[in-house]
């Protein structure tokens, strides 16, 4: 799942860079307003890419989910202050 999110992030960021480069290297020669519009679209992509890259997948372990390993879970619970080590 991590690889899929990473690929989606890089595809979105590559699209963003391509829009900026095409807007000011090529499209501005024909239409500056269209080039500005392309930049506005490119401006929205990075926050969306960050959301996609940081989204929790169904099989991802989250910081407070038990892992299934009792020793590891006890260790994390002790660090989080949920249980006292005795």
**Residue 43 phi, psi (nearest 5):** -70, -30
Confidence of residue 24 (pLDDT cuts 50, 70, 90): very high
Q: How far apart are CA 5 and CA 54, in angstroms?
A: 8
Least trusted range by pLDDT, from 8-22, 23-37, 63-77? 63-77
**Selection from 4-8, 47-51, 65-69, 71-75 with the highest mean pLDDT:** 47-51
pTM above 0.75, yes or no: no
Quote the pLDDT of residue 64: 64
Task: Give backbone dihedrals phi and psi of 58, rounded to 5 degrees, phi first.
Answer: -65, -30
């Amino acid at each position: 799942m991590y690889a899929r999110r990473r690929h989606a992030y890089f595809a979105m960021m590559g699209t963003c860079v391509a829009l900026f480069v095409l807007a000011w290297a090529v499209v501005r020669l024909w239409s500056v307003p269209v080039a500005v519009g392309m930049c506005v679209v490119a401006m929205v992509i990075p926050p969306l890419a960050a959301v996609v890259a940081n989204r929790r997948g169904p099989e991802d372990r989250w910081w407070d989910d038990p892992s299934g390993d009792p020793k590891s879970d006890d260790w994390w619970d002790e660090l989080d202050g949920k249980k006292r080590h005795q």
